[in-house]
Amino acid sequence: MSIRGVIKWYHTKKHFGYLLSDNREIFFHINDCGDFVPQEGTLVQFEMGLDRAGRAKAINITRVCVGVCHEYNNK
């Protein structure tokens, strides 16, 4: 099931960051971002998965909108 969220921050040198979805921060890695470079404020769609240690992370991340996106209301 796809979930929507916004990229809260991204560390360009370490290639990871956090998404914000339903007031929850979710870890992600650049390898799960398909064909785009993450930017803060980008609206994305993703699925939940697990990393090698069994921790939750975002996977199969696709870009929905760049910049301020009025269709997403993070309650």
Give the CATH number, domain containing residue 29: 2.40.50.140
The per-residue pLDDT for range 14-68, each reduced to its tens digit, is 999 999 999 999 999 999 998 899 999 999 999 999 999 999 999 999 999 765 6
Does residue 73 fall inside a structural domain?
A: no
What domain range includes position 45? 3-65
Q: Is residue 72 part of a domain?
A: no
Question: What are the tens digits of pLDDT across the range 1-18?
Answer: 789 999 999 999 999 999
Question: Does the residue 71 lie in any domain?
Answer: no
**Domains: count for the chain:** 1
Strand order of the β-sheet with 24-29 is 24-29, 16-21, 3-11, 43-50, 56-65
Greatest extent of the chain over all pairs of C-alpha atoms, in Å: 36
Pairing between strand 24-29 and 56-65?
unpaired
What pLDDT is attached to residue 65?
Answer: 74
